[in-house]
Amino acid sequence: MNIQIINGPNLNLLGVREKSIYGDSSFETYLTELQNRYPNLNITYYQSNVEGEIINKIHEVGFTYDGIVLNAGAYTHTSVAIADAIAGVKTPVIEVHISNVYKREEFRHHSMLAASCKGVIAGFGMDSYRLAIENLIVK
């Protein structure tokens, strides 16, 4: 199975940024753990701070991959364009968040993307990504 993880804006700063919310592990360290845990999966990773690049990546893998795990960061709450990209491809997309967005500011309570996604996982720290993968592999 081919699974693409996509992280959006500011998630390149994981391990550095707001550690009390997002933890102190870099995504690269966590990714290695995930890849070791699922040696039979091809888990690829892409991060961009640019909305259009996230859309391009969804288009690129969205007709051939088995699943996309997407943490669109703040674009979750604003991006009609990413929602349209998710709706336009065949590959199921799972929206994930490290933090429990419902415990935070009200503007984080609404997702523009969720209705186009297979489901949403939020609030389990980095483990949110693994939980999304678990869903994709059970099918």
Which residues make up the interface to ligand DQA (CB under 6 A)?
Answer: 10, 71, 73-74, 76, 97-99, 101, 108
CB 116 to ligand DQA: min, Å: 16
Question: For residues 71 and 79, which CB has a smaller minimum distance to ligand DQA in the complex?
Answer: 71
From 22, 30, 65, 75, active-site residue = 22
CB 28 to ligand DQA: min, Å: 16
Count of CB atoms situated within 10 Å of the CB of 117: 20
For this structure, is 102 an active site residue? no
For this structure, is 97 an active site residue? yes
Residue type for position 129: Y
Give CB contacts under 8 A, 24+ apart, made by 10-16.
10/49, 10/73, 10/74, 11/47, 11/71, 11/73, 12/47, 12/49, 14/98
Q: CA-to-CA distance for 95 and 120, rounded, in angstroms?
A: 5
Question: For residues 77 and 137, which CB has a smaller minimum distance to ligand DQA in the complex?
Answer: 77
Catalogue the active-site residues: 22, 97
